[in-house]
Amino acid sequence: MKLIIQIPCYNEAETLEVALNDLPKHIDGIDEIEYLIINDGSADNTVEVARNWGVNYVVSFRNNKGLARGFMAGLDACLRNGADIIVNTDADNQYCGEDIEKLVRPILNGEAGMVIGERPIDQTAHFSPLKKKLQHLGSWVVRKASKTDVPDAPSGFRAYSRHTAMRLNVINEYTYTLETIVQAGRQKMAVTSVPIRTNAELRPSRLFNSMFGYVKKSMLTIGRALMMYKPLYCFAWIAGIFGVAGAALGIRYLVYLAIGNGEGHIQSLILASMLIIIAVLAGVIGLLGDVISANRKLLEEIQFELRKMDYGQGHEEGKDDIAEKTKEQNI
């Protein structure tokens, strides 16, 4: 059983060695542990620090492409190099490396394919009261959208089985954390959480410049993911809202017409017609989206089978490593 721990990096030379030193060298049930960094266009000596420490793999972008693209490139490299379990952690040492054993245990026991580390948000000193409330609110929204019970959706401290990693697709360019939960929940993947510890903050977060910007991008990401996987559900709600409003205005006009006062309420009739037309259009879009979603499922199954052919089955099926260790891949 092979574990690869991946770390997305963007100008992390000052903190990367601290994070690497905190990673485990042995876990019961794991035969081999290797380490991979994703150099997301760093302008400092992040790669040099990683090589001097002794990481096994470096995936490099020539320019910064964002956390989501880096995450998927890391998954690809881990799968190609025979990982049976992939753990994603941060280069700023936010998460306690010893807790990686907690993350991989449900996968080793066959209980889950995706495991998310649940941070003690309310006890984290460097989180402001507003950020704590928004973290809880965002996780609640993701739980409703994904039909999972993940308590800490934005957590980037995660473990994936080989099978689950081959099924993941991230479309947005902002972050992988929210979209992958919605995708996993809607595809009935086995997702669970384990409590983990966090370390003191070494640097401010670089994922967002303001709390408003973070909330806006997160809501857009969740909404887009939900529309991709449940378009009929989303547009049925839109059609229902406009349809009910249009019907109410139409009934109101008919009441006035019945009492002989309809001429002064033509505006209500026009507005009711417009709302009902919008409702019908939303319903049609929902049906078209549902057909596209069905085709997407077929394409995802094809992609999964192609990935199995490309990456190999992994150690759990008794296969040998299929990819040579490549010290650096430029993308």
DSSP string, 54-89: T-SEEEEESS---HHHHHHHHHHHHHHTT-SEEEE-
Please tell me the predicted confidence (pLDDT) of residue 205: 63
pLDDT tens readout for residues 153-180: 888 899 999 999 998 888 877 778 888 8
Residues 61, 210 within the same domain:
yes
Residues 221, 243 within the same domain:
no
Residues 176, 263 within the same domain:
no
Residues 42, 189 within the same domain:
yes
The residue among 172, 196, 229 that closes a domain is: 229
The residue among 184, 208, 229 that closes a domain is: 229
Residues 35, 184 within the same domain:
yes
Residues 71, 58 within the same domain:
yes
The residue among 229, 258, 282 that closes a domain is: 229
pLDDT tens readout for residues 115-134: 999 988 777 666 677 777 87
Residues 206, 121 within the same domain:
yes
pLDDT tens readout for residues 1-36: 899 999 999 999 989 999 999 999 999 999 999 999
Based on its alpha-carbon atoms, the radius of gyration of the chain, rounded to whole angstroms, reads 24
Would the pLDDT of 325 be above 80?
Answer: no
DSSP of 256-294: HHHTT-GGGGHHHHHHHHHHHHHHHHHHHHHHHHHHHHH
Q: How far apart are the first and last CA of the chain?
A: 28
pLDDT grade for 221, boundaries at 50, 70 and 90: confident
Please tell me the predicted confidence (pLDDT) of residue 94: 87
Most confident segment among 19-33, 138-152, 223-237, 254-268: 19-33
Please tell me the predicted confidence (pLDDT) of residue 294: 85
Residues 242, 165 within the same domain:
no
Name the residue range of residue 50's domain.
2-229
Would the pLDDT of 41 be above 60?
Answer: yes
- The tally of domains found in the chain comes to 2
At CA 280, angle to CA 276 and CA 281, rounded to 5? 115
Residues 142, 235 within the same domain:
no
Q: According to DSSP H, which parts of the chain are helical?
A: 16-21, 46-53, 67-80, 100-108, 129-146, 162-167, 177-186, 211-229, 231-258, 266-311
Once rounded to an integer, what is the mean pLDDT over residues 52-59? Answer: 94
Once rounded to an integer, what is the mean pLDDT over residues 149-156? Answer: 87
- Entry pTM: 0.77
Please tell me the predicted confidence (pLDDT) of residue 108: 93
Instruction: Express as a percent the part of the chain with pLDDT over 90.
Output: 42
- Please state, in angstroms and rounded to a whole number, the distance separating the CA atoms of residues 98 and 263: 75
Please tell me the predicted confidence (pLDDT) of residue 255: 86
How far CA 300 is from CA of 12, 69, 103, 291, 296, in Å, comes to 34, 18, 26, 14, 6
Burial 39-73 (b: 16+ CB within 10 A, else e): bbbbeeebbebbeeeebbbbbbbeeebbbbbbbbb
Owner of token pair 């601290």: 18
